[in-house]
Amino acid sequence: MILASQKAVTLLALLTLLPLLVGCGRVAPEAADALRSQPKPLAFTAEHATNALQRVEALVKNHTPRDAGTPEGARAAGGLQQQLQSAGVAAELVRFEDETPRGRKTFANVIGTHRGRSDEWIVLLSHFDTKSGIGPAFQGANDSGSSTGLLLELAAIIQNSGEQHYNFLFGFMDGEECQLAYSDRDGFHGSKHFARALKKEGRDLKAVILTDMIGDRDLQISVPRNSTKELKLLALKAAAVAGHRDKITMLSSVILDDHQAFLDLDFPAIVLIDFEFGSRPGSNDYWHTMEDSMDKISAESLLITGQIVVEMINMLCGNF
């Protein structure tokens, strides 16, 4: 409802603005900035969750297993690049070699880019390689599959949302899994390579958000101690706003994952991980076994995680 007196004021305001809009067909630069539409808040719906699950299914169906340094691993990377490109996201394959306890191997990270308005970047991460030696048809549906399907869907959502305040990098990491035991030369090859490259380029990273094993039907997300404090608080706030505060816990213990390479280079980083992936609460007995299959993950869990991550992004970007 608009009262008559307000109508007059509104009309006057419009008339004052009019020369800016139509005068000689030009818009003053400062007015142009003000007229740029505010980015809309991102939303992660049940339909997005179904899409994300289908993306996991396709990855598992077409690329099982996808161990780092194998032809199938390289094909999986190519498939991810294609999926990003079909969603309109600029995407590149970054191939590199690294030493491992089983000799020198070739890895391939897949990096998607979405340009925003500022010079700062938000990095969303997942790993897509499977743990080697589990079995001939190890799906890694939860461990690598779930977060990869979610990240593909998040990239499509952000790409469709138009220009956001920050730039985005969608990083699909290869070589997260170790060959024998985690060490300086074993595991986290992709994230170490990616973090070093961004440091060298002098990129200004606002946040690095990694998800891992978040498709578990019995979802209980945890955030280990080794995550940036401000991002931990943000995750709690985002979970509360999304209505999922009961699904996330702060741990007093440390979990090493792909976000650690970024922390080591003083970038703000966090991991959201469900490290209780098993046959009963508190157990992790499906992890790195043939039980890590499609029937153990759900669209509902992808929905919950997707909504928390999207809310974190909205809060970082100031989208309201």
For Zn ion, which is the closer residue by CB, 131 or 193?
131
| 193, 293 Cβ separation under 8 angstroms | no
With CB atoms as reference, the residue minimizing the distance to Zn ion is 143
Concatenate the DSSP letters of all residues of 212-274 into one string.
Answer: ESTTBSS--EEE-SSS-HHHHHHHHHHHHHTT-GGGEEE-SS----TTHHHHHTT--EEEEE-
The distance of closest approach from Cβ of residue 177 to Zn ion in the complex, given in angstroms and rounded to an integer, is 5
**CB nearer to Zn ion: pick between 116 and 175:** 175
DSSP states along 271-302: EEE----SSSTT--TTTTSTT-SGGGB-HHHH
Cβ-contact 198, 167 below 8 angstroms = no
Q: How far is the CB of 212 from Zn ion (least distance, A)?
A: 8
Nearer to Zn ion, 170 or 286 (CB): 286
Nearest approach, Cβ of 13 to Zn ion (angstroms)? Answer: 58
Report the nearest approach of Zn ion to the CB of residue 96 (Å): 21
Question: What is the smallest separation between the CB atom of 148 and Zn ion, expressed in angstroms?
Answer: 12
Residues 72, 60: contact at Cβ < 8 Å?
A: no
Closer residue to Zn ion (CB): 98 or 177: 177
Tokens of 176: 């997260």
Say which residues have a Cβ less than 8 Å from residue 151's Cβ, sequence separation at least 6: 124, 125, 126, 170, 172, 211
In the complex, least distance from residue 143 CB atom to Zn ion, rounded to whole angstroms: 4
Closest by Cα among 174, 187, 173 to 256: 187
Distance CA 312, CA 228 (A): 14
Give min distance, CB of 127 to Zn ion, in A: 8
Name the residues that contact Zn ion, by CB under 5 A.
131, 143
Encode 191-216 in three state secondary structure: HHHHHHHHHHCCCEEEEEEEEECCCE
Closer of 138 and 166 to Zn ion (Cβ): 138
Closer residue to Zn ion (CB): 66 or 131: 131
Nearer to Zn ion, 160 or 279 (CB): 279
The two tokens of residue 160 are 């469709």
